[in-house]
Amino acid sequence: MQFTCDIFHPNIYPDGRVCISILHAPGVDPTGYETSAERWSPVQSIEKILISVISMLAEPNDESAANVNAAKMWREDREQFERIADNLVRQTLCLPTNTSE
């Protein structure tokens, strides 16, 4: 799964690919971070995958970051993180960006 617009999020790679366990290839995680039950399998429904992605968007996992800069900012400067994320959404929708500091 990949976003086609710019998005600033700890669990989304700069190229838009989503980093979430349920989308990872089946099998054993070489890092030992995920169980095989958390990874993709044919029994995962589209509904379950979408709910997982929505949950990830609402509650980032900054311990398993795909975008290290976003994760660091999420932890250390939430206001700046939200401003950057908001401005990217506004640019995508062709709305004026928030330039206030």
Domain with 51 in it = 21-92
Tell me, yes or no, whether 1 lies in a domain.
no
Tell me, yes or no, whether 41 lies in a domain.
yes
Other beta carbons within 10 angstroms of residue 12's beta carbon come to 25
Tell me, yes or no, whether 35 lies in a domain.
yes
**Which CATH number goes with the domain that contains 30?**
3.10.110.10
Any idea which of 11-25, 46-60, 70-84 has the lowest mean pLDDT? 11-25
Question: What would the mean pLDDT of 77-100 be, rounded to a whole number?
Answer: 89
What pLDDT, in 10s, does the model give residues 25-50?
A: 666 666 666 666 677 677 788 898 89
**How many domains, the chain?**
1
Separation CA 19–CA 62 (nearest Å): 11
> Is residue 89 scored above 80 in pLDDT?
yes
Q: CA–CA distance from 69 to each of 33, 65, 84, 91 (Å)?
A: 21, 9, 12, 20
Tell me, yes or no, whether 32 lies in a domain.
yes
Q: Which residues are catalytic?
A: 19
> Is residue 101 scored above 60 in pLDDT?
no
